[in-house]
Amino acid sequence: MQKGIFITFEGSEGSGKSTHIRFAASYFRKRGRRPLMIREPGSTRSSEAIRRILLDPQNKKMGQATELLLYLAARAQLVEEKILPALKAGRVIISDRFEDSTLAYQGFGAGISRHTIESFSRFVRGSLKPDLTFILDIHPQKGLARGGRHDRVEKKSDAFHRRVRNGFLTLARQNKKRIVLLSTDKPVREVQQQILKHLKRFYG
């Protein structure tokens, strides 16, 4: 049986994760793998219900603790229901966001301590960590201009989104073995060539 592979794509709003996730999935399909594509929060019945609560603009009074715990609850179900069984079966998993987003948004953005987030996260995911993470860097104003400010997270202040970006950049500096930082100022084709170079490591 082939070894399971867990890859995550991270980045601020409008960074183009979906485009590059499709590219990565295509790479594995061409090699006979059938990647499981998931998103956070979401990809299970209960996690999608939580997603709707988290992104609903009408929930503007949601507290920081509530927000963090809802994200973690969605992740807990996703890990148990989808990620761990898929890895055990030797699947490739490509996720649109994972724990790094929680650290960037709820940690750097909202100001919840990293210790608090990591303590809860360890309870939720156990020893599970991505094998490879791509962070797509984009200036917040440019990213938000691409997609607009429609959901509750997108409607947060410019200062919040600047802190989130700084969080992603900090995480990339601190985790160079796992995280690949990619500038979305470069042409899509050039970014994907960088992604391809790192995906090839799984085929030595």
Q: Is 176 annotated as a binding residue?
A: no
Q: Is 12 annotated as a binding residue?
A: yes
Q: Is 143 annotated as a binding residue?
A: no
Q: Is 15 annotated as a binding residue?
A: yes
Burial of 13 (0-12, 13-18, 19+ CB in 10 A): buried
Q: Is 109 annotated as a binding residue?
A: no
The first and second tokens of residue 200, run together, are: 């090839």
CA atoms within 13 A on the CB side of 72: 19
Q: Is the bond preceding residue 41 a cis peptide, omega within 30 degrees? A: yes
Q: DSSP for 122-172, please give it.
A: HHHHTT---SEEEEEE--HHHHHHHH-S-STTTTS-HHHHHHHHHHHHHHH
* Whether 4 contacts 201, CB under 8 Å: no
Q: Is 11 annotated as a binding residue?
A: yes
Q: Is 18 annotated as a binding residue?
A: yes
Q: Find the length of the chain.
A: 204
Q: Is 101 annotated as a binding residue?
A: no
Give the whole-angstrom CA distance, residue 106 versus residue 129: 19
Cα 92 from chain centre: 16
Site of tokens 């988290």: 54
Binding site membership for ATP: which residues?
Answer: 11-18
Binding site membership: which residues?
Answer: 11-18
